[in-house]
């Protein structure tokens, strides 16, 4: 645009106005036909009113501009015609920001080159610093000789469109940046599962370069075990069952290393709802998954042996029962308890004890059939769960195999140990039995196995289950018995074999049960122990024995009171003894406390102090059932023991079993050597008595000298 004379709209413009149309046929070019319909003035008015800017220019400059053009260029008609010198601060620029000289403006170019300038992007900078984007199309106007001599330009304001496009570009760029920098793997996948676009994180996670992924599918990266599940989920989405899914799945890094990913897959649809592609996000959760697995493992396994713990064992029993239900097979639970483990632990040290447990767990595991489980419940209690068992005979075979496997001598930390175990067997009679009941039944059977001696098995039966129920009844009525004074003591004499004189009496507990009659201790003591009621019962025994003995007078000898492991394990024994003596007036030298060998072996420091306190009081401590425990005799030296009572199982063999004689002789000699009193229990025959005298045994107790009776003396 150049300086030029002013033209009015409708003025002579460069292109000659169309001739009035000749008579039909009309020329085929429509534009050529308008002139005869619309007078020039109307046409000019229409152009003037157009919302699109229109500028006509010739070699002299702008000759015609409508209002819209002025508005768009923010110039008045006069300014538009007199752009040289330009309005200060008013500039045109190319789309790329470079200044656009007026002689290169689209209209001028169209005029000078004779070529249409189509959609040229032009930026207008206004004096107040604003920018406006214009799309300008300029068409050359030619003279009749074909030479361009003018141009008409149309101007459209595309500022809003441009701004929108720029915003879109910016957000796309931001999105791309975010994609590339997010630690979450991201992929765009076509409906065949092929990668269309991936971000860096994804490449990092799966260990492939983006180029390597071009020919691969999502399924190619999945762990072989998860491919089917993944394909299934994708198919469900394509079928329209769901639009997104979240899965924790394994995938292969570099095609080999198994990793865990949290996959979020979302389906993107077009406007008509047809699936377009899938957006997949993968988050590496390998670490948290491993931690989770580790925690789960720790929560479900015994830390020492690595075997399943109680919780997992119960779960395995349940699963085995479920499978058994379908297959019509039984489940057997073997409750295994090591024999005398406590003694091993206490006498040889906990480290060695632990090593024995680990060895046992290994042996159990090795002897398992496939599909069976070995677990550890704690302490020396193990469990074997056998699936797919026909009847109890099969379970017994397994139990015996376990016993053989475990029972071989083992060298642990340089010491030879022969671990034996007692096993209780429970076979699911019905698949509806609950795991806990099965385990309890096996536990009960194990106790019965122990009762019959070590290294045995026993099997649960109806009677056994009844007995378990009875235990609960017993516990209940024990409390009642204590409240309504149903307990009493019987006294059995202990004699001096040389003089036949009674030196003392052992107080033996009896329970006058309202329905079941007079009960000996083996019918209720264990329940009393396990329920803790023995504490109260024990205190009553001490008081009662002391009162009775005190009343009987000094000539009737001492009274021996049995004290249970429970009483020793808790504080207060010495105090209870002191109180009993105080109240009854019984002198300390007339009171003996009987403790079993295992109690002595496992005596914790606090218990030792109680025993020392008893010794200080002048009360004698005697080891009961001597010879039946683990003969680690060190406690005889370490603890204040004044006597031992040789168990009656040895006495029973006197006269018939030569070995028993040897043992009794050895034990008597041992007592003599350690200067402790020896009492041999369970003497029933004259022969036994005679043999004991020959051996040189001083004191004895047994039916031969008197059964336990209510009277003291
Ligand atoms: P223990 O202390 O070894 O008591 C000796 C047991 O042998 C008594 O059984 C007694 O009746 C029995 N006995 C005595 N002489 C003979 C005999 O010649 N032949 C046979 N076959 N047995 C004989 P009892 O009274 O049934 O007591 C059993 C166990 O119960 C006792 O064994 C003792 O460990 C425990 N016990 C008894 N009274 C109490 C008590 O008050 N408190 C505690 N904690 N335990 C007690
Ligand atoms: Mg006793
Ligand atoms: Mg005894």
pLDDT in tens, 372-428: 999 999 899 999 999 988 877 788 889 999 999 998 888 887 888 888 999 999 998
Mutate to test the pocket of ligand 1, among 562, 569, 654 (most ligand atoms within 8 A of CB): 562
How many A from CA of 520 to the centre of ligand 1?
8
682 in contact with ligand 1, CB cutoff 6 A: yes
Q: What is the pLDDT of residue 467?
A: 61
pLDDT at 233 over 60: yes
pLDDT digits (tens, 9 = 90+) for 497-535: 999 999 999 999 999 999 889 999 998 888 888 778 899
For residue 694, what is the enclosing H or E element? helix 686-695
Look up the CATH superfamily of 182-290: PAS domain (3.30.450.20)
Other residues' Cβ atoms within 10 Å of the Cβ of residue 134: 23
The span from the first CA to the last CA of the chain, in angstroms, equals 144
For residue 347, what is the enclosing H or E element? helix 341-348
Q: What is the pLDDT of residue 347?
A: 77
- 559 pLDDT band (50/70/90 cuts)? very high
Instruction: Tell me which residue of 582, 503, 584 sits closest to 550, measured CA to CA.
Output: 584
- 85 pLDDT band (50/70/90 cuts)? low
pLDDT digits (tens, 9 = 90+) for 299-352: 999 999 999 999 999 999 999 999 988 888 889 999 999 998 887 887 788 888
How many A from CA of 674 to the centre of ligand 2?
21
* Mean predicted confidence (pLDDT) in 433-457: 88
Minimum-distance ligand to the CA of 599? 1
Q: How far apart are CA 253 and CA 246, in angstroms?
A: 20
Angle subtended at Cα 211 by Cα 228 and Cα 178, rounded to the nearest 5 degrees: 85
Between residues 9 and 160, the one the model is more confident about? 160
Atom index in ligand 1 nearest the CA of residue 567 equals 44
Helix (H, G, I), strand (E, B), or coil: what is residue 115?
coil
Instruction: Tell me which residue of 406, 435, 147 sits closest to 311, measured CA to CA.
Output: 435
How many A from CA of 494 to the centre of ligand 3?
12
Helix (H, G, I), strand (E, B), or coil: what is residue 205?
helix
3-class secondary structure per residue, 401-446 = HHHHHHHCCEEECCEEECCCEEEEEEECCCCCCCHHHHHHHHHHHH
Q: Is 649 in contact with 664 (CB distance < 8 Å)?
A: no
Q: Is 457 in contact with 397 (CB distance < 8 Å)?
A: no
* Mean predicted confidence (pLDDT) in 172-193: 85
Helix 350-367 vs helix 392-407: crossing angle, to nearest 10: 140
Q: How far apart are CA 486 and CA 482, in angstroms?
A: 6
Atom 17 of ligand 1 has which residue's CA nearest to it? 682
| CATH code for the part of the protein at 2-163 | 3.30.450.20
How many A from CA of 488 to the centre of ligand 2?
16
Of the candidate ranges 14-28, 33-47, 265-279, 570-584, the one whose mean pLDDT is the lowest: 14-28
Integer angstrom CA distances of residue 673 from 238, 355, 503, 594, 667:
91, 35, 22, 21, 10
Mutate to test the pocket of ligand 1, among 492, 508, 563 (most ligand atoms within 8 A of CB): 508
Atom 19 of ligand 1 has which residue's CA nearest to it? 682
Domain boundaries, the chain: 2-163, 182-290, 306-460, 475-701
Q: What is the pLDDT of residue 466?
A: 61
R_g of the chain, CA atoms, integer Å? 53
pLDDT at 3 over 50: no
Q: What is the pLDDT of residue 235?
A: 86
153 in contact with ligand 1, CB cutoff 6 A: no
354 in contact with ligand 1, CB cutoff 6 A: no
Atom 34 of ligand 1 has which residue's CA nearest to it? 562
Peptide bond into 25 cis (omega under 30): yes
Mutate to test the pocket of ligand 1, among 681, 687, 704 (most ligand atoms within 8 A of CB): 681
509 in contact with ligand 1, CB cutoff 6 A: yes
How many A from CA of 683 to the centre of ligand 3?
12
183 in contact with ligand 1, CB cutoff 6 A: no
594 in contact with ligand 1, CB cutoff 6 A: yes
Between residues 709 and 571, the one the model is more confident about? 709
Atom 27 of ligand 1 has which residue's CA nearest to it? 521
- 632 pLDDT band (50/70/90 cuts)? low
Same fold: 2-163 with 182-290: yes
Q: How far apart are CA 612 and CA 610, in angstroms?
A: 5
Instruction: Determine whether domain 306-460 maps to CATH 3.30.70.270.
Output: yes
pLDDT at 27 over 70: no
Record: fold of 475-701:
TIM Barrel (3.20.20)
- 23 pLDDT band (50/70/90 cuts)? very low
Q: Is 324 in contact with 386 (CB distance < 8 Å)?
A: no
Query: Which residue has tokens 């075997």?
Result: 307
508 in contact with ligand 1, CB cutoff 6 A: yes
- 16 pLDDT band (50/70/90 cuts)? very low
Atom 20 of ligand 1 has which residue's CA nearest to it? 682
How many A from CA of 625 to the centre of ligand 3?
4
Q: Which long-range contacts (CB under 8 A, 24 or more apart) does 311-319 make?
A: 312/375, 313/373, 313/375, 313/377, 313/383, 313/385, 313/439, 314/435, 314/436, 314/439, 315/435, 316/373, 316/375, 316/385, 317/385, 317/435, 317/438, 317/439, 318/434, 318/435
pLDDT at 34 over 70: no
Q: Is 701 in contact with 504 (CB distance < 8 Å)?
A: no
Helix (H, G, I), strand (E, B), or coil: what is residue 578?
helix
Q: What is the pLDDT of residue 10?
A: 36
Atom 46 of ligand 1 has which residue's CA nearest to it? 562
Q: Is 439 in contact with 445 (CB distance < 8 Å)?
A: no
Taking all residues of the chain, what is their mean pLDDT, rounded to a whole number?
A: 86
pLDDT at 36 over 70: no
pLDDT at 80 over 80: yes
Q: Which long-range contacts (CB under 8 A, 24 or more apart) does 243-252 make?
A: 243/267, 243/269, 248/285, 248/289, 249/222, 249/223, 250/222, 250/223, 250/225, 250/226, 251/206, 251/221, 251/222, 251/223, 251/226, 251/282, 252/206, 252/221, 252/222, 252/223
Peptide bond into 12 cis (omega under 30): no
User: For a pLDDT cut of 90, what percent of the chain falls above it?
Assistant: 45
Q: How far apart are CA 627 and CA 367, in angstroms?
A: 33
Q: Which long-range contacts (CB under 8 A, 24 or more apart) does 70-78 make?
A: 72/124, 72/132, 72/134, 72/155, 72/157, 73/124, 73/134, 73/155, 74/124, 74/126, 74/132
544 in contact with ligand 1, CB cutoff 6 A: no
- 84 pLDDT band (50/70/90 cuts)? low
pLDDT digits (tens, 9 = 90+) for 88-138: 888 999 988 899 988 889 999 999 999 999 988 899 999 898 999 999 999
pLDDT at 706 over 80: yes
How many A from CA of 483 to the centre of ligand 3?
28
Q: Is 162 in contact with 132 (CB distance < 8 Å)?
A: no
- Stated pTM of the model: 0.47
Atom index in ligand 1 nearest the CA of residue 561 equals 41
Q: Is 688 in contact with 651 (CB distance < 8 Å)?
A: yes
Of the candidate ranges 397-406, 540-549, 602-611, the one whose mean pLDDT is the lowest: 602-611
Between residues 637 and 487, the one the model is more confident about? 487
């Amino acid at each position: 645009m150049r300086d030029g004379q002013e033209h009015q709209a409708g003025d002579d413009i460069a292109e000659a106005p169309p001739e009035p149309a000749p008579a039909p046929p009309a020329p085929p070019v429509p534009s050529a036909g308008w002139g005869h319909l619309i007078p020039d003035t109307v046409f000019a008015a229409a152009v003037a009113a157009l919302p699109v800017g229109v500028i006509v220019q010739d070699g002299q400059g702008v000759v015609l501009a409508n209002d819209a053009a002025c508005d768009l260029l923010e110039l008045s008609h006069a300014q538009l015609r007199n752009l040289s010198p330009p309005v200060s601060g008013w500039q045109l620029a190319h789309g790329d920001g470079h200044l656009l000289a007026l002689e290169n403006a689209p209209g001028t170019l169209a005029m000078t080159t004779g070529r249409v300038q189509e959609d040229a992007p032009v930026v207008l900078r206004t004096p107040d610093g604003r920018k406006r984007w214009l799309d300008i199309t300029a068409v050359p106007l030619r003279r009749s000789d074909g030479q361009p001599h003018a141009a008409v330009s149309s101007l459209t304001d595309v500022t809003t469109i441009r701004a929108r496009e720029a915003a879109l570009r910016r957000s796309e760029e931001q999105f791309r940046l975010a994609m590339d920098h997010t630690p979450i793997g991201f992929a765009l996948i076509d409906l065949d599962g092929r990668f269309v676009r991936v971000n860096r994180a994804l490449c990092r996670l799966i260990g492939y370069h983006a180029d390597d992924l071009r020919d691969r599918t999502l399924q190619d990266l999945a762990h072989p075990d998860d491919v089917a599940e993944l394909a299934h989920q994708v198919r469900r989405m394509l079928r329209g069952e769901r639009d997104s899914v979240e899965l924790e799945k394994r995938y292969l890094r570099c095609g080999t290393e198994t990793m865990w990913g949290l996959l979020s897959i979302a389906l993107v649809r077009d406007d008509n709802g047809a699936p377009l592609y899938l957006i997949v996000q993968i988050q590496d959760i390998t670490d948290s998954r491993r931690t989770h697995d580790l925690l789960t493992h720790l929560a479900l396994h015994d830390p020492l042996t690595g075997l399943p713990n109680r919780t997992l064992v119960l779960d395995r029993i349940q699963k085995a029962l479920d499978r058994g239900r379908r297959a019509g097979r039984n489940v057997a639970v073997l409750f295994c308890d090591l024999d005398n483990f406590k003694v091993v632990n206490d006498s040889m040290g906990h480290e060695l004890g632990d090593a024995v447990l680990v060895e046992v767990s290994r042996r159990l595991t090795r002897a398992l059939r496939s599909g069976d489980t070995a677990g550890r419940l704690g302490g020396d209690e193990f469990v074997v769960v056998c699936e797919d068992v026909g009847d109890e005979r099969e379970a017994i075979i397994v139990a015996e195999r376990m016993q053989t496997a475990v029972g071989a001598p083992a060298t642990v930390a340089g010491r030879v140990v022969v671990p034996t175990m007692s096993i209780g067997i429970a076979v699911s009679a019905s698949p509806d039995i609950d795991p806990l009941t099965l385990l309890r039944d096996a536990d009960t059977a194990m106790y019965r196995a122990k009762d019959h001696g070590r290294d045995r098995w026993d099997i649960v039966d109806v009677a056994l289950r009844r007995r378990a129920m009875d235990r609960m009844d017993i516990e209940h009525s024990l409390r009642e018995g204590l409240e309504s004074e149903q307990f009493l003591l019987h006294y059995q004499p202990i004699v001096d074999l040389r003089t036949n004189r009674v030196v003392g009496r052992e107080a033996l507990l009896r329970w006058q049960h309202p329905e079941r009659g007079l009960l000996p201790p083996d019918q209720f003591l264990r329940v009393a122990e396990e329920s803790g009621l023995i504490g109260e019962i024990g205190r009553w025994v001490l008081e009662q024995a002391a009162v009775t003995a005190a009343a009987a007078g000094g000539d009737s000898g001492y009274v021996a009171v049995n004290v249970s492991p429970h009483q020793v394990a808790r504080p207060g024994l010495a105090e209870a003894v002191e109180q009993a003596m105080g109240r009854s007036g019984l002198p300390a030298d007339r009171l003996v406390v009987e403790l079993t060998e295992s109690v002595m072996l496992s005596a914790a420091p606090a218990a030792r102090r109680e025993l020392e306190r008893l010794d200080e009081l002048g009360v004698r401590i005697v080891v009961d059932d001597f010879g039946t425990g683990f003969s680690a005799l060190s406690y005889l030296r370490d603890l204040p023991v004044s006597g031992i009572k040789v168990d009656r199982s040895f006495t029973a063999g006197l006269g018939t079993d030569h070995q028993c004689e040897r043992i009794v002789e050895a034990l008597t000699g041992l007592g003599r050597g350690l200067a402790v009193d020896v009492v041999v229990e369970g003497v029933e025959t004259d022969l036994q008595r005679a043999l004991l005298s020959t051996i040189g045994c001083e004191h004895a107790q047994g039916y031969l000298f008197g059964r336990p009776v209510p009277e003291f003396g």
